[in-house]
Amino acid sequence: MHLSARPVAVLLAALALTAGLSVTGPPAFARSDEGRDTAQASDVSIAADTYTWKNARIDGGGFVPGIVFNRSEKNLAYARTDIGGAYRWDQTGKRWTPLLDWVDWDRWGWSGVVGLASDTADPDKVYAAVGTYTNSWDPTNGAVLRSSDRGASWKAAALPFKLGGNMPGRGMGERLAVDPNKNSVLYLGAPSGKGLWRSTDSGVTWSEVTAFPNPGNYAADPSDTSGYGSDNQGIVWVTFDERSGSAGSATQDIYVGVADKANTVYRSTDGGGTWSRIPGQPTGYLAHKGVLDSATGHLYLTLSDTGGPYDGAKGRIWRYDTGSGAWKDVSPVAEADTYHGFSGLSVDRQEPGTLMATAYSSWWPDTQIFRSTDSGATWTKAWDYTSYPNRSNRYTQDVSSVPWLSWGATPSPPETSPKLGWMTEALEIDPFDSDRMMYGTGATVYGTENLTSWDSGGRFTITPMVKGLEETAVNDLASPPSGAPLLSALGDIGGFRHTDLDAVPAMMFTSPNLDSTTSLDFAETAPGTVVRVGNADAAPHIGFSTDNGANWFQGSEPSGVTGGGTVAAAADGSGFVWSPEGAAVHRTTGYGNSWTPSTGIPAGATVESDRKNPRKFYGFKAGTFYVSTDSGASFTAKATGLPAEGNVRFKALPGTEGDIWLAGGASTGAYGLWRSTDSGASFTKSSGVDQADSVGFGKAAPGASYQSVFVSAKIGNVRGIFRSTDAGATWTRINDDAHQWGWTGAAITGDPRVYGRVYVSTNGRGIQVGESSGTGGGGTDPDPGPGGPPADADCSVTYEVTNQWAGGFQADVTVTNTGSTSYDGWQLGWTFPGGQKVTQMWNATHQQDGAKATARNVAWNGKVAPGSSAGFGFTGTWTATNAEPGAFTVDGEACAVA
C-alpha cells in the first residue's frame, strides 16, 4: 500500500474546481503587495470573528518528494509536498511550520509544490515553484513564489504555463535552483515541453533560455487522453558547480537533467549562454537527481527507467568526474539484480566522498537505502538478507510518536512493520551534521540523528521527523454528540478516530483497511453506531462499528460495487442506506449482512439520513431531491430546480425532522446554499450566499435557539469559512487571508459539544480545527491582564510575536469588541518600543510614522459584532529590541491589553 495525494483521490474535486475559476489580474494571495484589491463591501451582513486554527494531529499522511537544507545556515531546512504546500523546519520545537496556508480558493493549485530553493548567499530568501496539475484539472498557471523572510510572507511571479506538483515525475528534482555565487540568478526546469527558464532579478521576472536545446520527451503514458500520464515531464533538475564562480559573479558550470532517456544530462560552461549534451553519459534511463560533490568534483546521478514516483523497474547510479570528463557506473548492485529505480541522493558536505541513495520504487519487501564512503566504489545497505526470508538491519526504527505508521500490520518476513518506506525520492544529509539525515516517503518524513553509527558497525535510529507536517486529503468529517469529538474519512490512509485533537491517534481505521474512505456517518441518537465506506482493491468496501469507531468489523456488499460512494445511518442505528460506485443504491436493516436495492432513486445519488426520524432518508442527483419514508426501501422524487452541475453536499439538522441544508453547484448554473423545512418537498435559496460548497452544524451560540451553521462559501464577494448563529440571516467570516488552505469544499462540521468549534476539510493540509475567540454575543469583558491600561474603549487587544529571526519578525494582532454594539469599521494604533518597522500587513492596511503605527480594517472585517473579534498579521524589522507594545488605542481611545 502506498500513500500519496494521487489524482484518483482528488480528481472529482479537481474537476469540480475547474468550473468558474479564472486567472485574471495579478496573483492573489495573503501577505503580498501583489494581491488583488480588497473585496468591496456588499449589502450582505458579514461580521468577523477571530479564530485560532490548528490541525487535528495526524502527523504526515502524504508524499513528501523534496527536502532542502540551506548550505550556509545550520538548521534551516524546507520540505515540499505534492498537494499540501511547503514547510520550514523549526529546530527549537523539532517540527515543521506550514508556509502556504494563505493559498486561496481560486488558486488552489498553488498548494502543489514542484520545486524549492533556499538561497545560500542570503538565507532569509526562499523560493517555491507551485502548481498542481499541467492538464485541465488545474485551472490556473503555475508561479514562482519568493520570500525574503523565510516564508513568512510571499510575492509571486506568475508563469505562462502550468506546473505539476502532483504530476508523474514530481519526485525528481530540484527543478528550481539559485546560483550560489550570484543569487539574483535562478533557473527553473519546466514540464510540458516548455523548456528551461531563468530569472536574473531574484525571481521577479522569468524568461525562457532559448539556447537550451532539449525540452524533454518522456511521458509516463503517452496514450492517456486526460493529459495526466501523457505530459512531457520536461526539465527535472538544475545543479550548479559553485567552484566555477565567485561571490557576485555568475556560476559558469551548470548541469541540467532532462526527461529524455537518450539525452538526460546537459551542461553549460559559460554561465548559461550555451549548452551541450555531456558525451559518454548513460542512456536508457532518466536522471531523477543530479548532485555535485564540490569537494571531490564528482557529479552523481540516480537513474530510473521511469519518472516515478510509483513506478520504476530498473535503475543505476553513475558518477561523472567534472575534471577529467570520465563517466563511471558506481551502482551498488548489478543491473540484472535491480527491480527498482534509484532516486533519493545526497552527499555529505562534511565528509567528501560520502553519499547515500534510495531504491525509491522498491515496494516489496521494503525500500532500500544505500551508503558509500568512497565515492561510490563500495556500498553498504540499510538492510540485507541473512538467510532468506530473514534479514539483518543496520537500523532500529521507533514510530511510537506516530504509531499508525505500522498500519497495525503483522507481515511475514522479509516484510517488516513498520517499513522503511516507499516512494523514497527525497533523502538529504544535513550539510552541517553528518549524523543527521532526513528522507521523505509516501506517508511521512523519517530521519536519524546518529547516522554515522552505520559506518562503525552500530545501528542508527530512525524516527518520524514529521510533527507539524499535515498532508492528508479529507473527504468527510463527523462530530458525534458523544464519544470521540471527531471522526474522519481520508484519502489514502482511510481515516481516524480522534479522542484528543492534539494527539496522534494510535491507528487508522482497520477491519477493513480502506485505501481511501469516501463517506462515513453515525446514528444521531445512538452515536456508538458508525458506518464508513471507501475505495479498496477488492471487497469489502464497507465497515461498521458499534463502539463509536473504536473497533470495526467488515460488512458484506451488493454485487458490482467498485468504490465507496456515500453512506447514511438511520437516526437510531436501525439500518443503513448505501450509494456505492458501480451499483445501485441499496439498503440494509442489519450490519450489511444482506442488501436490498432501493427503488425510485438513481444510481450514484448522494445519500444522507434524517437526524430525528429513523425511517427517513434523503438522496440527491442532477438537480432532483429524493425522499424515503420507509427506511430507504423506496424513494420519491421531490424538489427540483436544484444545482444540476458541480458537486452538491447536503446535511439534515440534528434533532429536527425535515430541516435540510444543501450546498453546491457550478458558476455555469445554479450555485449557492438552499434550505428545506419540509423534508425536501421544497427548497428556498439563501439570497445572501453567492456560492457554497459544504455545510454543517455545531452547538448553538449562548442564548440562540438554532444550532450554528457552518459553510465553506463565497458570501459578499468574499471566499472563506463562515458561521451563522441565526439560521443564515447573518454570517460571520471565521477564517482570514492567512488561513485559506486552497480548496475546502469537501466537508465541514461544527462540534455539537463546544460552541464555535469547527472542523474543516482541506485537500492536502489535513483537518483544520477552528476555535472561536468570541462568545457569540453577550458574555463578560475579558480581563485586561497585568500591565494593561484602563480601557476607555469597549475593546481588548492581543499582540503576539509568532516568529522571529535576526532583524525580522512576524506578529498576529487580535482586536475584540467587548462592548454591546457592533463596530462599523475600526482603526488600531500603537507605538513600537524597540525601533520596529512594519514591512507587510495582511487583513488590514497600515501606516507608520516613526515609532507610531496604525492598522485599519479592510472591507470584510470592518464589522465586528459584540463578543467577536477581528485579526490581522504583519511582518516587520527590528534593530534594537523586539519588545511588544504595551498600549493600544481603538479609534483613538485606550484599549485593554489581553
Strand partners, 256: 238, 266
User: Cis peptide leading into 174, omega within 30 of 0?
Assistant: yes
Pairing assessment for the beta strands 852-856 and 827-831 based on DSSP bridges: antiparallel
Q: Report the distance separating Cα 890 and Cα 163, nearest Å.
A: 45
The type of residue at 188 is: L
Which strands, in side-by-side order, build the sheet including 143-147? 113-118, 126-130, 143-147, 155-158
Pairing of strands 758-760, 748-750: antiparallel
Cell numbers at 321, concatenated: 568526474
Give 352-356 contacts, CB < 8 A, sequence gap 24+.
352/293, 352/295, 352/296, 353/293, 353/295, 353/296, 354/429, 354/434, 355/291, 355/293, 355/300, 356/427, 356/429, 356/437
Between CA 593 and CA 600, with CA 594 as vertex, the angle to 5 degrees is 140
The angle at the Cα of 701, spanning 695 to 707, to the nearest 5 degrees, equals 40
- The C-alpha atoms of residue 243 and residue 119 are separated, in whole angstroms, by 17
Q: Let me know: does 394 contact 417? Beta carbons within 8 Å.
A: no
Instruction: Let me know: does 81 contact 471? Beta carbons within 8 Å.
Output: yes
Of residues 101, 119, 260, 492, which has the active-site annotation?
492
> CA 175, 181, 184, 185 torsion: positive or negative?
negative
Which candidate in 82, 104, 106, 241 is catalytic?
82
Q: What's the start-to-end Cα distance of the chain, in Å?
A: 49
Task: Name the 3-class secondary structure at 441.
Answer: coil
For the chain, the helix, strand and coil percentages under 3-state DSSP, each to the nearest 5: 5, 40, 60
824 tagged catalytic: no
H-type alpha helices, 676-776: none
Is residue 572 flagged as an active site residue? no
Is residue 257 within 8 A of residue 172, CB to CB? The reply is yes
Is the Cβ–Cβ distance between 363 and 422 less than 8 Å? Answer: yes
Q: Which of 652, 568, 577 is nearest to 610 (CA)?
A: 652
Which phi and psi angles does 872 have, rounded to 5°?
Answer: -150, 165
Go through the chain and tell me how many residues it has: 898
Cell numbers representing residue 509 in the block:
481505521
The strand ranges marked E within 706-842 are 708-715, 718-724, 731-733, 748-750, 758-760, 768-772, 795-805, 808-817, 823-824, 827-831, 837-842
At CA 626, angle to CA 624 and CA 632, rounded to 5? 155
Looking at the chain, the number of H-run helices and the number of E-run strands are 1, 70
Strands (E), 159-221: 176-178, 186-189, 196-199, 207-208
**Beta-bridge partner residues of 147:** 126
Residue 732: partners with Cβ closer than 8 Å, 6 or more residues away: 46, 47, 48, 49, 722, 723, 724, 725, 865, 868
CA atoms of 86 and 111, how far apart (whole Å)? 8
Cα 487 versus chain centre, distance: 19
Please name the residue that has the C-alpha cell 485593554.
896
d(CA 437, CA 454): 12
Contact status, residue 802 vs residue 152, Cβ threshold 8 Å: no
Please give the backbone phi and psi of residue 769, each rounded to the nearest 5 degrees, phi first.
Answer: -110, 120
Provide the annotated active-site residues.
82, 492
